[in-house]
Chain A
Amino acid sequence: MFDGATIVKVRNLKKHFELRKGFLSFGKDVAYVKAVDGVDFDMRSGEILGLVGESGCGKTTVGRLLTRLEDPTDGFVFFLGRDIALIEGQDVKVFRRNIQMVFQDPYESLNPRTTVTQTIMEPLLNHNIGESQEDRMEMVVHALEDAGLAPAKEYLNRFPHELSGGQRQRVSIARALAVKPRVIVADEPVSMLDVSIRAGVLNLMLDLRDKYGIPYLFITHDIAVARYISDKLAVMYLGRVVEMAATDDVIFEPKHPYTQALLSAVPVPDPDAKHGRINIKGEVPSAADIPLGCRFRPRCPKAFRECGWEAMDLVDWLKENDHLTEDAALGGAISSLHPDGLVLRLDIKEGVDPAAVVSTIEDMVAKGRKDHPILDAVDSVDSLLTDRLIEIRSKPAHISSEDLANELFTLLESTVAYKELDHPMHGIIAGVRLNGDRLTLSVGGDPSNIKLAESFMVDYIRHHKRKNRPELKGARRIITNEKEMTVNVLCSDSKEPSAKTAEDIAEYIENRLLADSSSDLTRLVLPVETKRRKVNVRIMGPESNWSALSDIVRKHLAIGGESGESISQRVSRISLKTVKGGRKNVVAVKFTSAEEPPLFDVGGGHQVACYLYKGGGARTVQDTRSAGAT
């Protein structure tokens, strides 16, 4: 019926909103609400993709990002192969014409002072569609009749208040369709409508899809509605898609524990239907404070060792199991608890031996490992040197022109799919070469393409510079050579802000220096902290660890050190510090870290973001437990 060509590609899409705090918290770290936090999906022609999830899961924001009503924090939306963030000038208008929206509330999305004709005519005029006024009038009539408002002339001169809710939503649909878009984003289009009206609007949308093959992104909280209308279903939880597959695969064979619980909660209009309720704990956490590892883990009835546990979970577990009461072995020995990411710090009461607390916890972990996945995920229990610190200061990094050219080259290769047929730069950019501090784009076809390629590069560099690559300001000279048909980007030496350097150093220490899991060092260090220009490494265990670790850090990071990488050039000083009066008896429990589960394919295009399906097969809860215990 339709060729199934990919119209929209969404990759690693993120939108983080800055959280405004009171003025008293001035200067503190800014918090972000991670409304959308890494979403991937494709939309193909003729296909309706249903996006379902509870309120606050970010589904509406995805719709707004797709239509460019919001700019993404990170990630890409490709529309017909084109990165929509890079569309500028006149092209924005073309883009907006191609992606149309149908909103939730038909009482608010239509201007009360314009007639139906004016409402639908406006986009036609804006986009210069139609030869003459008669032509456009015909389109309006056609759009209305398409939307089931026939005969159209009965409706042409009505105002919104003269229409019922269902009719208004039909006018919204007619308005979206009139400009012949390539994609429609429908955000809860039927949730305000009464049941008897809703079915008609849903059927209309299905019929129009069959007629024109326009793909819809259908955003809704109503799973029964999503099941009815969509071909493919994506379930969102807290900013991410946790499961995606053909609609009835999700409905009848839900794989993700969240989807299973969600579906079990949907009421069914049949009094005899059996209700197999799956209980999940608690409520959806705040999107400003997303759990580490798998974000559904704290509520998941099937969570196991690999799901990425953190300190907060252990505090909850200890409380639930009465280990923190005054007469419990552990509760009696500690004065306070400080969960911080993967590490739980326990301050020990005066006069209590930290070693005894360590062995109490170790016993608890050894005994409970089999039955409690959270204990299974404990990596180490150790006393902490609260007063010792390795401090590494960074300096603004100098980036040589060659390094910068290299970085730009890598960025370009990974983000611009000019080799693909549907990319707008296809055939214009024929190839990219790296030549010292120079990036050469060879341009194909007509000589006028040089101008296109040049303006593309200008936009591209400007966009990424603004986004998160300030160092790209060193790539400001763009020279075209018409004889050779090339566009050259000349890079000059550049500087990178020191705060970013500090982050890079911290990442290097965590991911490279301490990544070797065979080394005991990984167990010695708390999560590495960055404070503007400084990187602080705090140490667990006895005093000897401190000197051992500092030697290693020095060896790798000091100028001319073994890292042999540019990172050592960004370190200005390494110092060992003793924090005055910081000596306290503290025990730290550290968890193994886990990445957020990606979407695993379980066959037939059914994707699930859950470690139970790692490697494609389903593991039972028993499998995971015994694996962890060995």
Chain B
Amino acid sequence: MVLLEVQDLKVHFEIQDGWVKAVDGVSFSIDSGETMGLVGESGCGKTTAAYAITQLLPPNGRIKGGRIFFKEPARVAQFRKEYDEKLKTTSKARKGEISRVKRKLSELNQAGRGSSQEAEELRDRLAALTYSFDLLGLSTRKDGSLDDYNEDIRRIRWTQISMIFQGAMNAFNPVFKVGDQIVEAITLHESVDENAARERAKKLFEFVGIAPDRIDNYPHEFSGGMKQRAMIALALALNPSFIIADEPTTALDVVTQDRILAEIKRLQEKLEMAMMIITHDVSVVAEVSDKIGVMYAGVIMEIGQTSQVFKNTAHPYTAGLLGSFPSIKGEKRRLISIPGFPPDLVSPPAGCPFHPRCQYAQKRCEEERPEGVSVEPGHVSYCHFAKQLWEKLRRNG
């Protein structure tokens, strides 16, 4: 079942010289219990996309379009897709349809059949027509900025969607005890007393592999790996159904990284949470995720099951990224670097943003933004020539 669906998300930042198009039309979906890896180099917009989901953008961030559906019932999603095919988002026809459905519903209510199957269906249709499950619809102001303190969002944030922040080293407040910071998160969102919350924090510590008596330590008394574990405990505190992990192991040594990844995998399987891991490290996602999205210059280049993307690569950028990654396994081969460097997102190249660095680029790539091309079930490449290149890239990889 689809847990989260992101549709054509656009997040831009206002700066002196104009707009940084950090995320410029990103779509993906995550099923419950699934792990998706979002990979890309620094500045490709992967972190911004994640922060848009939790709605924690910096003040100059603006939502310029898109919808994020979270925990949308399957039938609503189905109706929504039907309507989206038939009716435009702001069309008169849609407004007419909305008032028609509303009228029917009130007629049923008056007839005392408000809980009938027919009425249920109408309610779902109304939700689909008005995008009721769109997180962005709840809190986006007219100018595209987000209302961080929106009550509806605050009810969802952390209880339903929580985050493991990048650099656990600095994510805890150094002047408060680690345990107290977890207790605070619990008592803020649930009506439990402090002792119960403390007990729960202790259990969480044990759960992530830290001795429960360390709950009264300050962050500086923890090693890097322990801080990261405590961060995970904090993210788990309210039993969310979705966790976003932003570079969860980047600052850690390999041995610790390996342990934390194993820990994340174990907990996720046990708690059946869905997860999104954001990282620049291709080998990390290869280890933990079921599904991968490769981002470049604010857009997704390729998305698919992990083995599809790694084995049946269908985008020149993904191929370049994988080819420039050294490995400790197998024969030593010369790394192939991608020429040039990532574009400035204030004025990204027209057409496919990767075309200036792409060895297969043609005239069409400079002019036309590629649509998603489905090369095999569940595997989409945003390249005009995905089908033609697929055979070639697979052979090289």
A262 to B257, CA, bound (A): 11
What A residues does B307 contact at CB under 8 A? 271-272
CB < 8 Å neighbour of B287 from A194, A263, A267: A267
CB < 8 Å neighbour of B262 from A248, A269, A277: A277
What A residues does B253 contact at CB under 8 A? 54-55, 221
What A residues does B332 contact at CB under 8 A? 227-228, 248
User: How many whole Å from A503's CB to the nearest CB in chain B?
Assistant: 35
The answer on a CB contact under 8 Å between A198 and B324 is yes
What A residues does B334 contact at CB under 8 A? 203
Q: Mark B131-173, 1 if CB is under 8 A from A, else 0.
A: 0000000000000000000000000000000000000000000
Q: Mark A199-214, 1 if CB is under 8 A from B, else 0.
A: 1101100000000000
The answer on a CB contact under 8 Å between A221 and B335 is no
The contact size tier of chain A is: 35 or more
Docked complex: A251-278 residues within 8 A CB-CB of B: 251, 261-273, 275, 277
Asked if B346 is at the interface (CB within 8 A of a chain A CB), the reply is: no
Q: Mark B218-241, 1 if CB is under 8 A from A, else 0.
A: 000001010000000000000000
Docked complex: A225-251 residues within 8 A CB-CB of B: 225, 227-228, 248, 251
The answer on a CB contact under 8 Å between A266 and B328 is yes
Residue of A whose beta carbon sits closest to that of B289? A271
What B residues does A200 contact at CB under 8 A? 337, 339
What B residues does A223 contact at CB under 8 A? 254, 328
Of B17-25, B57-65, B278-286, B388-396, the segment with at least 4 beta carbons within 8 Å of chain A is B278-286
What B residues does A269 contact at CB under 8 A? 282-283, 286, 310, 322, 325, 327
What A residues does B323 contact at CB under 8 A? 199
Q: Mark B298-341, 1 if CB is under 8 A from A, else 0.
A: 00000000110011000000001111111111001011111101
The answer on a CB contact under 8 Å between A197 and B329 is no
The answer on a CB contact under 8 Å between A228 and B286 is no
User: How many whole Å from A411's CB to the nearest CB in chain B?
Assistant: 40
CB < 8 Å neighbour of B325 from A195, A203, A266, A283: A195
A54 to B255, CA, bound (A): 8
Asked if B342 is at the interface (CB within 8 A of a chain A CB), the reply is: yes
The answer on a CB contact under 8 Å between A262 and B335 is no
Residue of A whose beta carbon sits closest to that of B357? A196
The answer on a CB contact under 8 Å between B328 and A197 is no
Given A223-B254, A228-B326, A269-B322; A283-B225 close (CB under 8 Å): yes
CB < 8 Å neighbour of A196 from B225, B256, B311, B320: B320
A55 to B253, CA, bound (A): 7
Asked if A318 is at the interface (CB within 8 A of a chain B CB), the reply is: no
Given A197-B341, A224-B327, A270-B327; A265-B257 close (CB under 8 Å): yes
Residue of A whose beta carbon sits closest to that of B249? A267
The answer on a CB contact under 8 Å between A196 and B338 is yes
CB < 8 Å neighbour of B324 from A199, A251, A261, A275: A199
User: How many whole Å from A340's CB to the nearest CB in chain B?
Assistant: 24
Q: Mark B252-288, 1 if CB is under 8 A from A, else 0.
A: 0111111101100000000000000000111110110
Q: Mark B352-390, 1 if CB is under 8 A from A, else 0.
A: 000000000000000000000000000000000000000
Given A196-B324, A199-B336, A203-B335; A268-B286 close (CB under 8 Å): yes
Asked if B41 is at the interface (CB within 8 A of a chain A CB), the reply is: yes
CB < 8 Å neighbour of B282 from A195, A264, A283: A195
Asked if B42 is at the interface (CB within 8 A of a chain A CB), the reply is: yes
User: How many whole Å from A228's CB to the nearest CB in chain B?
Assistant: 4
The answer on a CB contact under 8 Å between B254 and A268 is no
Residue of B254, B259, B334, B336 ringed by the most chain A CB atoms within 10 A: B254
Q: How many residues of B contact A (CB 8 A)?
A: 43
CB < 8 Å neighbour of B337 from A197, A261, A270, A273: A197
Residue of B261, B321, B337 ringed by the most chain A CB atoms within 10 A: B337
User: How many whole Å from A350's CB to the nearest CB in chain B?
Assistant: 29
What B residues does A196 contact at CB under 8 A? 41, 320-321, 324, 337-338, 341-342
What A residues does B321 contact at CB under 8 A? 195-196
Q: Mark B37-50, 1 if CB is under 8 A from A, else 0.
A: 00001100000000
What B residues does A354 contact at CB under 8 A? none
Asked if A46 is at the interface (CB within 8 A of a chain B CB), the reply is: no
Asked if A129 is at the interface (CB within 8 A of a chain B CB), the reply is: no
User: How many whole Å from B329's CB to the nearest CB in chain A?
Assistant: 5
Residue of A194, A195, A223, A225 ringed by the most chain B CB atoms within 10 A: A195
A165 to B342, CA, bound (A): 11
Given A166-B341, A262-B254; A268-B283 close (CB under 8 Å): yes
Residue of B whose beta carbon sits closest to that of A54? B253
Residue of A167, A266, A271, A277 ringed by the most chain B CB atoms within 10 A: A271
What B residues does A399 contact at CB under 8 A? none
What A residues does B41 contact at CB under 8 A? 194-196
The answer on a CB contact under 8 Å between A270 and B286 is yes
Asked if A109 is at the interface (CB within 8 A of a chain B CB), the reply is: no
What B residues does A265 contact at CB under 8 A? 254-255, 257-259
What B residues does A273 contact at CB under 8 A? 286, 329
The answer on a CB contact under 8 Å between B329 and A194 is no
The answer on a CB contact under 8 Å between A266 and B225 is no
Docked complex: A269-296 residues within 8 A CB-CB of B: 269-273, 275, 277, 280, 283
A148 to B5, CA, bound (A): 44
Given A223-B328, A227-B326; A267-B257 close (CB under 8 Å): yes
What B residues does A268 contact at CB under 8 A? 283, 286-287, 327-329
Asked if A164 is at the interface (CB within 8 A of a chain B CB), the reply is: yes
What A residues does B261 contact at CB under 8 A? 267
User: How many whole Å from A155's CB to the nearest CB in chain B?
Assistant: 14
The answer on a CB contact under 8 Å between B255 and A227 is no
Residues of A whose CB lies within 8 Å of any CB of B are 54-55, 164-167, 194-200, 202-203, 221, 223-225, 227-228, 248, 251, 261-273, 275, 277, 280, 283
Identify 25 residue pairs between A and B in the complex whose beta-carbon atoms are under 8 Å apart, listed by A's number: A54-B255, A165-B341, A194-B280, A194-B342, A195-B282, A196-B41, A196-B321, A196-B324, A199-B324, A200-B339, A202-B335, A203-B335, A224-B283, A224-B327, A228-B326, A265-B254, A265-B259, A266-B328, A267-B281, A269-B282, A269-B327, A271-B310, A271-B311, A273-B329, A283-B225
Q: What 15 new A-B contacts, CB under 8 Å, besides A198-B337, A199-B338, A263-B328?
A: A194-B41, A195-B282, A195-B321, A196-B321, A197-B337, A199-B335, A199-B337, A227-B328, A267-B257, A267-B261, A267-B284, A267-B286, A268-B287, A269-B322, A271-B307
Sort A-B residue pairs by CB-CB distance and give the 10 closest, nearest first: A200-B337, A265-B258, A199-B324, A199-B337, A199-B335, A267-B283, A54-B253, A228-B326, A194-B41, A196-B338
